Structure 1
Amino acid sequence: MQRFWILPLVVLAGMGLSVEAGLLGPLGEAIGQGWAVFGIFSLGALLLTFGLIFGRPQLRALFAKPRWMLAGGLLGPLYVGALTLATPHIGVGLTMVGILFGQVGASLVIDHFGWLGAQQRKVDGYRLGALVAIVGALCLINT
């Protein structure tokens, strides 16, 4: 039953990323891409800090994990920076389909080899077909 809610949740999260891209492009053009990324992450850090203060802090557990697991903290600003730079030039649709292609392609490799602690799921024709369909969408939306 829990899995029933996971797919709609990730679809909504994906929709949120498109909205974020639509907001970041104009913000970056108005105040500069670096300031837009800084502003978005500052607000996120403020909200997260509020949650940590009133939640149960787990910093000891966080820093007890291998350092490579914290690399996601570096990837977030790069992702938001890419959204901020690309969206005004190529639009939200093409930006998001390009990002989707990168996400699915990397995800298939990670799943196939079981990297980063993921359960190993071999790439089959269906999964490869999904990636090819995204390439088709990338070509079609770029026209």
Structure 2
Amino acid sequence: MLQGTQNFMLYGFIMFIAGLGIPIMAALNGGLSNKLQNTALAAVILLFVGLCIALTYLFTTSGVPKTFYATGTPWYFYFGGCFVMFYILTISWVAPKFGIANAIAFVLLGQLIAMVVIDHFGFFGAKQYTLDYKRLAGLTLMIAGIALILSKPQQS
């Protein structure tokens, strides 16, 4: 473990639950896109629902902080929304045609590669973790697992 604290387990559990939601979200997004026969409209609806939930959370917890208007925030921090939009559009369009497992497996592959690069170099202000042999071995095993998931099942 990177940290021997209770927070590590709590955060790990929360992210595990979030991870369970990714394929569910892909199936729901793809279903809405198919029913509407319009991927862009489905994305707008999904993002609007997400906006409503985020605003509700914001205003029921702390409200807009005074630092919202602070200068010095790197411009590229605001591009996270572009990645959210790209993900929603692509998963809504690709997953129904390609299969949920296939789509998510390739999403996971992209995430694995991006995470080690971001961590290794500390990009975007992330905490830096060197890509050592142990982490590289773990990454290799995870990629091998994805390859096994993507392999065609044997016909019985």
Q: TM-score, normalised by structure 1?
A: 0.89
8 Å contact from structure 1 (residues 97, 134) kept in 2: no
Aligned to 2:103: 95
Aligned to 2:39: 33
CA RMSD of aligned residues (A): 1.7
How many residues align? The count is 143
What is the distance in 2 between the residues matched to 1:86 and 1:128? Answer: 30
Deviation, 1:58, is 2.5
Cα distance 1:18–1:84, how it changes in 2: closer, same or farther (>3 A)?
A: same
Deviation, 1:78, is 0.6
8 Å contact from structure 1 (residues 33, 85) kept in 2: yes
- The unaligned stretches of length 5 or more in structure 1 are none
Which structure dedicates a bigger proportion of its chain to helix? 1
What is the distance in 2 between the residues matched to 1:132 and 1:2? Answer: 27
Correspondent of 2:114 among 93, 98, 106: 106
- The unaligned stretches of length 5 or more in structure 2 are 1-5
Q: Percent identity?
A: 25
Correspondent of 1:8 among 4, 9, 13: 13
In structure 2, give the amino acid aligned to 1:125. Y
Correspondent of 2:83 among 75, 89, 105: 75
What is the distance in 2 between the residues matched to 1:8 and 1:54? Answer: 24
Q: TM-score, normalised by structure 2?
A: 0.82
Cα distance 1:130–1:95, how it changes in 2: closer, same or farther (>3 A)?
A: farther
Q: Deviations over 1:100-130 (max 9, x none)?
A: 1111100100111111111211112232233
- State the SS of the aligned residue for 1:36: helix
